Amino acid sequence: AFVITENCINCKYTDCVDVCPVDCFHEGPNMLVIDPDECIDCTLCEPECPANAIFSEDEVPEDQRVFIELNAELAKKWPVITEVKEPFPDADEWNGKPGKLKFLKK
């Protein structure tokens, strides 16, 4: 499956949801996750993310591997999102900031 990692937090550009053929993105308060049981590894979403937050599970950087489990866990809890919406107004300021995990709202 593909996995959304830390840099989505407080950006949530949502360009990714537009291309997914199986609607497996789920929306939380300040990030999205991918349901690993639904993702078909089509790869389409990865280049769409302006924050470069999406990785194939086997390419998730070492310091981001906690997000593999977080995507699986939170996808069960959060609702599906299928339509692009406005990112947070300050998304560009958050893009690339390190240490955003502590701001994740569940």
**Given the rule CB under 6 A, which residues bind ligand SF4?**
2, 19-20, 22, 24, 34, 39-45
- Give the list of residues 6+ apart from residue 63 with CB closer than 8 angstroms, or none: none
User: Does residue 51 bind ligand F3S (CB under 6 A)?
Assistant: yes
In the chain, what are the helix, strand and coil shares in percent, each to the nearest 5? Answer: 30, 10, 55
Q: What 3-state DSSP class applies to 43?
A: coil
User: Does residue 57 bind ligand F3S (CB under 6 A)?
Assistant: no
Nearer to ligand SF4, 82 or 97 (CB): 82
Site residues (vs ligand F3S, CB under 6 A) = 4, 8, 11-16, 32, 48-49, 51, 53-54
